Amino acid sequence: MSDIKITTLPNGTRIVSEFIPHVKSFSLGFWFNVGARDENLSNNGISHFIEHMLFKGTKKRSARRISEEIESTGGYLNAFTSKEQTCYYTRGLSDNVARSFDVLADMIQNPLFRESHIKREAGVVIDELRDVYDNPEELIFDKFEEVIFKGNKLSLPVIGTEGNIKKFNSDELRKYHSSKYNPDRLLIVASGYVKHEELVNLAEKYIAGRSRKRTQRRDKFIPKKASDLTLEQNIHQVHTIIGRSTVGFNSKKRSRVKVLSTLLGEGSSSRLFQAVREKTGMTYQINSFLNSYMDVSSFGIYFSTNSRFAGKVLDVVLKEFNKLKKEEVTEKELNKVKNYIKGGTLLSLESTTNRMIRLANSIMYFNRVKTVDEYINEIDSVTTEDIMKIANELLDENKLIKVVLKSKSSVS
C-alpha cells in the first residue's frame, strides 16, 4: 500500500509525496518544467549546462561538500535534462531526508556561476557532446528528432552546440536561471519512507518565497514536411531509423500507439526481432521506440547492420508494416503484448526512483496523479481493431521519414 499526498505552497511550489511503509529509503526529486524546448538557436544547451553548473558550488557549499554530504551517509546524487524538464534527485536512507532536501534546495537556489568554473565545465560538456558524435546509436536519435520536429524547438538537441557551450558566461547563466528556476516552476516529489508533513515543512523552511513570474508558453508542435537524411561518418555499421511524429501524452490515442510500438519491436518476441534477427540473422540490434512529449511523440524503428544488409532489413521492416495494416492481430498476440507492457510497468515500481519519476511525469503532463491501475486499464482497453486502425494511420510509407548514418565508404 502507498499513500500519495499533494500540497501547493503560496509561492506556487508543489510537493508530492508517496509514503511506502515497507522500505527504509527514499528518492527525492526537484523538478523544473524547463528544457531544450524553452531555448533558441543562440542559447541551445543552456538548460543542460546549468544542470552541470548547479553541482559546482553554492555560497554555503563547495562542489566537493555537495557530493560528500549526500554520499557520506550512503546516498546518491544526480540530475538529468530533457527537452521539457530538468530534474535534480537523490536517493538515501530515510533518516537523511532533511539533509538531502537542504542540499538540493541550496543547489537550485544559490549557484555560484563563477567564470572559472564555467570555463572548466565547458570542456567537460564539450567532451560529453563529442561522445554523442562518436556514438551513432545516440546521434541518430538526435538527428531524427531534428528532422521530424523541424520548425519547432523540440528539434533542438538537449546538449546544445559546441559554439554555444564555449560562449556561455556568468551573466547569461544567471539571467536564464533567475527566469526559469522560480518557485512556481518547481515540483518536489518524493517516494519511499517519507512523511509528507516533513517535506512541506522543509519546503517552507528552505525554498525562498520569491514572487511568482509569468510562465512563458511553449510553441505548439505543428507538423511540417520533412525529408530523409543521410549522414556519413567513420563507422563500420549502417544505422537507420524509419519513423515519424505522432500523438503525445495529451492524446487518448497514445496507449494505442504504445501497444503498436511494443508489438512491433519491444522485446525478443516482438515481430521485428523475430522477423529480422531470429529468421535472417541480418542484425544484432532492432527495436521500436516511442519518445513522448506533451503534444507530440517521436515514433520509429531503429536498427544497425552492415552495408550489404541495410536495404534488405528495411524491406523486412516495411513488409511487417504492411502486414499490420492489412491483417488484424490475434487476441492471443495482443494479450501477450499487453502483458509485456503491464509486467514492465509493475516491475519498474520496485524502485522508489522510478516511482518518483512516474509521479513527477504524471503531475507535469496530466496535472494530477495518474494511477497505475488507470494506465493498465488504458492498455487493456486497446482492441485488435484499434491496432489495425492506428497502424494504417501511423505506418503510411509516404509519411515515414528515414534517417541513415553510414560509413563514408559505404555504398548505397
Residues annotated as catalytic are 51
95-120 burial code (b ≥16 CB/10 A, e <16): ebbebbbbbbbbbbbebbbeeebbee
557530493: which residue's cell?
67
* C-alpha span between 364 and 367 (Å, rounded): 6
* Side chain identity at residue 58, one-letter code: T
Exposure class string for 154-180: b at 16+ Cβ within 10 A, else e = bbbbbbbbeebbeebebebbeebbeeb
The set of cell numbers assigned to 323 is: 502486414
As a whole number of Å, the CA-based R_g of the chain is 23
| CB-based contact 341:379 (threshold 8 Å) | yes
| CA–CA separation, 223 and 220 (whole Å) | 10
Q: Between helices 254-265 and 372-380, what is the axis angle to 10°?
A: 70
- Among 144, 386, 62, 71, which residue's Cα sits nearest to residue 255? 386
**Measured distance CA(21)–CA(148) in Å, rounded:** 45
